[in-house]
Each structure stands twice: as structure tokens, then as C-alpha cells.
Amino acid sequence: MKRIIILFFIGLMAVLSCRKMQPKASADDQILDGPVEGLTAEEKLQFIRGDVAFNDEVFTAETGLGPLFVSTSCGNCHAGDGKGHPFTTLTRFGQTDSTGNKFLHMGAPQLQNRAVINFMPEQIPAGAASTRLTPPANTGMGFLDAVSDADILAMADPNDADGDGISGVPNWIHFKDYLHERTGIITSGGRCIGRFGKKSGAYDLLQQTAGAYNQDMGITSTYEPYDTYSGHEIDPEVSNQTLLDVVLYLKTLKAPVQRNIDDPTVIKGKQVFMQIDCGKCHVPELRTSASPIAALAFKAFSPYTDLLLHDMGPGLDDGYTEGNAKTNEWRTPALWGLGLSKNSQGGQYFLLHDGRARTIEQAIELHGGEAKNSVGKYFSLSGQDKQALIKFLESL
């Protein structure tokens, strides 16, 4: 079985890398791995270096892998920069309420289920809650990164003042001292607003990247210097230059291109989407603020997210908290690229945080909590309107 899985991935990679090599732009709207337009020559070079580090650099014990790790490269989990398959989930464990994680001394929160030779992989301790997360797509991250804190906060409605049943909140996370890049950072009680990760556990792409090197591959950096096994501070195993190349690569990966935008059914589907309040969380358009990358500054873009946490009801409760995010809370995922996710998920959809939904319809039907009213409206749509909605979602 393992071998079949590996062959499947090799096949998948081959397909994805052939696509990348196709010279003509006709398939451009099918591909996620490409830079945004308008980069400087220097940014383009850095993008390429970051692409190589992200996709091609496979770590071994000799180059610092582990000793405890989950996978050997970023690209292993984020193949083609699209959504990952449930074969490549991350497991986190421990925290069951926001008072803290009592399993920290047992390797929580992240499970490193693999180890280099002579080391024992971690196991989930008895009594700990655990969650399994599928890898999200990495596209258009720079746009999301350049939205101002103030704009995110403006979308929040913690006490549901407008009475529509939706009360998005930011995840207030602990501020790490190396996080300085954004201008206009809003803090509260020493915490800042998280926006990356399924529970918004990371403030920016530097934190996400340094954390992934450390926790997913056991690769230390000056930002995250602690060894996954001993917990001791050790010399960096990835240079700051490479890490920042990867951050720039993530920032400048283009946003997915919507397809069939002139199709009347797609246009109708978007109307339905807005009518039944999907767009209250999956906000169709956001704007970036200032950015050191000129191509990203002050741009309107269409991610279909508010970057806020929502109570999604008991069905999607994973029993695990992160920062201020409760067990039933998830950050609204961007819907751009949704229709392309099958390409990187082996020809089938695996949607929601753990990949449990195998169709778009199922993903909608599993919404609860704050999305209850919206899903109620979905269930009372005519068959034709439902089809239009799905067709619109597939065009994203």
C-alpha cells in the first residue's frame, strides 16, 4: 500500500512539473505555481530561489532533518502549491481549552510522527486531544499578508451587533519578537492578530515558514532555534537568506485565476452565493495596504475570506484550541483556487480542515454554528440555483 501511495505521489509530481514546463499560457489559469505580475528583476530571482528551496530541497539527516520530523520538504505536503492530500496531514495534540497546553513537556502541540535512525518518533499521549489538518493551498498568500490589521478588525463583529448570527473574531496570538514587518500592527494585551493557518495561529509568512521548517522538518533557524528532540537551542540548519527567499516565494505566488467568468450560470451562481450570505464570511473582495513588494501594494483581490475565526458548530469541533481559537472555531478558508484543488488532491476533492468533505456540496452541508442560517438558505434553494452556486464555486 505504501508503495502505491509513493508511486501515486511521484506520478502526481510528474504531472504537476510537466504542467509547469508547458510553454504556452493557455493553461495558465489551471496552474498555481507562478509569480504575480510586476515583480522587479531582483524579486524574480528571489522567487526562483525560494521555489527551489520550497519544492526541491529535500532534507536528510546529514543536512539537519529531524531528529523528529513529519516530512522532508515543503513541497512534499504542498505539491504544486495546491491543497494537499489527506496522506500528508499534520497532527497537533494537547490543548483542550484556552488555559494552556498541559502536554507541552510531552512534545505538544505538534506531533512529529517520524524520526531519523536511532530516534523514536512521537506518539500522542493518553488523554490528549488531537487534530488532523490537511495542507492548504499556498497561493496568493502575499495578498492576504498585505491586508492591514485594521481592515481585518473592521470585519469582526464579536458580539454580533448587527444580529445576523455571524460574529467573526480575530485570533489574538502571542507576539514573537522577530515579527516586525507589518506597519500598523494592532495589539491587545501583548497579543497580535493571527491570520495564517486553519485557526489563524500564525501572524505572518515568516512565522509560518520558520515554524514549518522547525516543526514539520526539524530544521532550526535563527528565528526558531530549538531542536525538536532535545528542546535545546542549536545552530541554524537553514540560513536566514533561504528562509527569506521562501517567504518571498510564498508572498509572490500569484492568486488563482477565476475561470469561465462570462458564463451566465457562473454569474448567476455568484448572485446566489451573495444572496444566501456565504459572502458574509467568504468576503469576495479585500484590499491590500502598503507592502515592501510594489506588485502587492494597494491592490484589490478576490480571496473569499474575512481572515476571521467563526464558530462552525459541534460537527466541525476538533477538540483542540490554538491561541484564542476555540475548539469549534476555524478561520474562514479562502475559496480562490477551490475548483483547481482536485488537481493537487489526486483527482478528488478533500475539503474542510481535515479533508472529510469529498464534494463541494458536502462541505457546505457540514457547515454549522454561525453558518447555520446561510446553510438553511442553501437547503431551500431550487435545484437550478444550487447547480449555479456549485458551478460558480468550481470557477474559483
Chain positions contacting ligand HEC, by CB under 6 A: 54, 70-71, 74, 76-78, 88, 90, 133-136, 138, 141, 166, 196-198, 201, 205, 208-209, 212-213, 216-217, 246, 250, 276-278, 280-282, 310, 312, 316, 330, 332-333, 338, 351-353, 360, 363-364, 367, 370-371, 374-375, 378, 393
**Which residue's CB is nearer to ligand HEC, number 43 or number 322?**
322
**Which residue's CB is nearer to ligand HEC, number 33 or number 277?**
277
**Which residue's CB is nearer to Ca ion, number 145 or number 227?**
227
Which ranges in 106-204 belong to alpha helices (H)? 141-145, 149-155
Distant-in-sequence, close-in-space partners of 383: CB < 8 Å, separation ≥ 6? none
Least Å from the CB of residue 366 to ligand HEC: 7
Neighbours of 380 (CB within 10 A): 8
Contacting Ca ion within 198-227 (CB under 5 A): 218
Q: What share of the chain is helix, strand, coil (3-state, %, to 5)?
A: 40, 10, 50
Neighbours of 226 (CB within 10 A): 13
Distant-in-sequence, close-in-space partners of 101: CB < 8 Å, separation ≥ 6? 94, 95, 108, 109
Residue 107 binds what, of Ca ion, ligand HEC, none (CB under 5 to 8 Å, by partner type)? Ca ion
Answer for which of 28, 56, 97, 164 binds Ca ion (CB under 5 A) is 164
Answer for which of 29, 56, 160, 235 binds Ca ion (CB under 5 A) is 160
Binding mask 240-279 for Ca ion (x = CB under 5 A): ----------------------------------------
Neighbours of 51 (CB within 10 A): 21
Residue 325 binds what, of ligand HEC, Ca ion, none (CB under 5 to 8 Å, by partner type)? none
Residue 50 binds what, of ligand HEC, Ca ion, none (CB under 5 to 8 Å, by partner type)? none
Least Å from the CB of residue 12 to Ca ion: 27
Distant-in-sequence, close-in-space partners of 375: CB < 8 Å, separation ≥ 6? 364, 365, 367, 368
For the chain, give the number of residues: 396
Neighbours of 316 (CB within 10 A): 21
**Which residue's CB is nearer to ligand HEC, number 26 or number 179?**
179
Residue 164 binds what, of Ca ion, ligand HEC, none (CB under 5 to 8 Å, by partner type)? Ca ion
Least Å from the CB of residue 369 to ligand HEC: 7
Give the burial class of 55: count Cβ atoms within 10 A of its Cβ; 0-12 exposed, 13-18 middle, 19 or more buried: buried
**What is the distance between the alpha carbons of residues 141 and 24, in angstroms, rounded to a whole number?**
25
Task: Give strand pairing partners of 309.
Answer: 169, 331
| Among 150, 254, 141, CA closest to 208 | 141
Least Å from the CB of residue 198 to ligand HEC: 3
Least Å from the CB of residue 11 to ligand HEC: 19
Residue 197 binds what, of ligand HEC, Ca ion, none (CB under 5 to 8 Å, by partner type)? ligand HEC
Q: Does 107 bind Ca ion (CB under 5 A)?
A: yes
User: C-alpha cell of 182?
Assistant: 507589518
Q: CB under 5 A: which stretch of 23-31, 93-101, 127-135, 156-164 binds Ca ion?
A: 156-164
Least Å from the CB of residue 10 to Ca ion: 26
Neighbours of 384 (CB within 10 A): 11
**What is the distance between the alpha carbons of residues 161 and 292, in angstroms, rounded to a whole number?**
36
Q: Render 31-47 in DSSP notation, one character per residue.
A: ---SBPTT--HHHHHHH
**Which residue's CB is nearer to ligand HEC, number 31 or number 352?**
352
Binding mask 111-150 for Ca ion (x = CB under 5 A): -x--------------------------------------
Give the burial class of 7: count Cβ atoms within 10 A of its Cβ; 0-12 exposed, 13-18 middle, 19 or more buried: exposed
Q: Does 64 bind Ca ion (CB under 5 A)?
A: yes
Answer for which of 166, 193, 205, 246 binds Ca ion (CB under 5 A) is 166
Least Å from the CB of residue 98 to ligand HEC: 16
Q: Is the torsion defined by CA of 247, 48, 58, 5 positive or negative?
A: positive
| Binding-site ranges for Ca ion (CB under 5 A) | 64, 107, 110, 112, 157, 160, 162, 164, 166, 218
